[in-house]
């Protein structure tokens, strides 16, 4: 699993959730997790979550910490499980590092009724993909939110925090793969 944290800001508009985005743009060939910071505004035409499209529920944030994960398999259910694992890892890191309790509902994280995250898992012709965004700013969002800045992270801490999350996910995926290789079959 390859990890790259982009130093330059990149606005997420939904078009980045496309097969081989990390390879085409950053040379990450294979399973990867790309982390970057930037605004988020996804038009309904670019939204993957059709429940949100039907509800006319826009996605917008002035500043987010984004993750695009790509796995080269075609098991969408496995990818949804990985997405939930990823969200659980984020929750664990926030609670351990900041001592602030969050609740997880499916693929979303909340502090009371304030939403921290957006996330979607989907399939492409050659892979499965996950996008997760964590609000940095909670200003001007279409739903009540909380941001990483509200939790006390400074601007300089956001990308290292993203790298910590990405590295922990990478280790978990590697550990899962190794766990498959140490057991004998039973009859």
User: Does domain 2-180 correspond to CATH entry 3.40.50.360?
Assistant: no
DSSP 17-65: SSTTHHHHHH---SSEEEEEEEEEEE-GGG---HHHHHTT--EEEEEEE
pLDDT by residue (tens digit) across 146-167? Answer: 999 999 999 999 999 999 999 9
pLDDT of residue 166: 98
Q: Please tell me the distance from the alpha carbon of residue 83 to that of residue 95, in angstroms, as a whole number.
A: 18
pLDDT by residue (tens digit) across 55-74? Answer: 888 789 999 999 999 999 99
pLDDT of residue 53: 80
Domains of the chain by residue range = 2-180
Q: Which residues of the chain have pLDDT under 70?
A: none
């Amino acid at each position: 699993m390859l990890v790259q944290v982009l130093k330059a800001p990149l606005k997420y508009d939904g078009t980045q959730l496309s097969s081989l985005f990390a390879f085409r743009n950053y040379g990450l060939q294979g399973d990867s997790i790309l982390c970057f910071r930037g605004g988020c505004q996804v038009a309904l035409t670019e939204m993957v979550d059709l429940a949100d499209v039907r509800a006319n529920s826009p996605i917008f944030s002035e500043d987010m910490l984004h993750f695009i994960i790509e796995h080269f398999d075609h098991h969408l259910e496995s990818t949804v499980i990985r997405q939930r694992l990823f969200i659980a890892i984020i929750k664990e890191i926030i609670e351990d590092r900041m001592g602030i309790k969050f609740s997880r509902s499916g693929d979303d994280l909340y502090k009371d009724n304030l939403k921290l995250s957006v996330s979607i898992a989907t399939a492409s012709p050659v892979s499965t993909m996950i996008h997760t965004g964590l609000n940095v700013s909670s200003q001007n969002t279409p739903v009540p939110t909380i941001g990483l800045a509200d939790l006390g992270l400074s601007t300089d801490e956001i990308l290292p925090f993203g790298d910590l999350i990405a590295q922990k996910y990478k280790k978990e995926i590697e550990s899962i793969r190794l766990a498959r290789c140490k057991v004998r079959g039973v009859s």
